[in-house]
Amino acid sequence: MLKHATTVPPDDEGGVAPGRRIYHVDMDAFFASVEQRDNPRLRGLPVIVGGDGRRGVVAAASYEARLAGVRSAMPAGRAHRLCPQAVFVAPRHAHYRAVSAVLFEILHRWSDRVEGVSIDEAYLDMSEGLADVDVLSNARALKRRISAEIGLTASIGIGSSKLVAKLASAYDKPDGLTWVRSGREREFLDPLPVSQLQGVGPATAARLNDGGILTIGQLRRTAPELLQPVFGRQIERFVARAAGIDEREVHGDRERRSISQEETFEADLVEFDEVEAIIRLQAGKCVEKLRQNGLFARSVHIKLRSGGFSTLTRSRTLGGWTRSPELIAEAAIEMARAWARYQARLSLRLVGVGVANLNAAPASDELLAADPAGPQQRAGPE
């Protein structure tokens, strides 16, 4: 089994192994996990994000709900029948985007080449300068950083191509880490169901299964003339994929998804006045970066880490676009104050403020008041 990492020894323990190393980072049940993180009463329960009305559709399901057979895009009525005890939660897409912005900020710290696939999924090209012996420790460090900063788990697959990395990330979910070393791609791919091969949909998988082709390995070993009726002109591409051949590049997207400032203190902060002063300072620095990049923000997030090293993140979507330090600071302070009300004793070793949901040219009627930058300056850097 290829749990967490292949057991095949690396070719060179001391140097950088040849070829590409692609990470595929995929958050675990993202929408449902955010809801369970934000509401401790939902933890351990089957949670379904989506409408529960007659025409409702499942947007996401926690792993507890998935055990009952609930899946994304399933009608809510069927989900109810499969999992009567499920808790339905209305989706908060703006909030999920704000959490995603923090995630991508972390990913860009790890690599200059990050290609976002969706709100909770991305490829990272880690081919340059990473010694073979350090691959797993680097991926584990990334998983720990994601967990520490946004309180969620991610599964990471590592391979020589996008195709292999994506299949590897799904291999041991949730909270998995699977590395398919270069040269071991066929060993990993061959036992997998043919339906897992990218581009093979349910109808195509059914045709292949009817012909006795159940696994990717069987597809790879099947004579091309027997596959021609199924794949047509695409036959060479699918045979190459079955062998793990995928030359697609990771197209780095350096568009800023968020801007943040944070500070760790030698002595814990114990007075909220101190926290408020730090937040106002950090909001001002975020606004400086917004202006430098000609951007406006619509979401504000905070990060607070206690003296006991527990980390809280909260986000809020504003009613319009802004780069006003006062508006950003007030939103962050309100979130921090709401958290502090429920603490028996304030003790913070880290405070962070960030902005997300960025836009270079919002409509003038969507700009919030009290923005000293003014709508006329929204189109470019200052």
Instruction: Please say whether the beta carbons of 65 and 46 come within 8 A.
Output: yes
Measure the CA–CA gap between 2 and 177, rounded to whole angstroms: 10
DSSP letter, residue 16: P
Measure the CA–CA gap between 11 and 115, rounded to whole angstroms: 28
Burial of 364 (0-12, 13-18, 19+ CB in 10 A): exposed
Q: Which of 149, 145, 166, 147 is nearest to 157 (CA)?
A: 166
Measure the CA–CA gap between 276 and 346, rounded to whole angstroms: 13
Tokens of 27: 């958050």
Task: Exactly one of 35, 64, 105, 121 is catalytic; name it.
Answer: 121
Measure the CA–CA gap between 153 and 138, rounded to whole angstroms: 16
Does the active-site annotation cover 263?
no
The Cα-based distances of 199 to 187, 218, 239, 333 in angstroms read: 20, 16, 12, 47
For 277, other C-beta atoms within 10 Å of its C-beta total 14
The Cα-based distances of 172 to 176, 186, 359 in angstroms read: 5, 18, 37
Measure the CA–CA gap between 321 and 328, rounded to whole angstroms: 10
Q: Which amino acid is at 8?
A: V
Sign of the CA dihedral 167, 253, 132, 247?
positive
Q: What pairs with residue 24 in β-bridges? A: 123, 157
Rg (CA), the chain: 24
Q: What pairs with residue 359 in β-bridges? A: 296
Residues classed as catalytic: 121
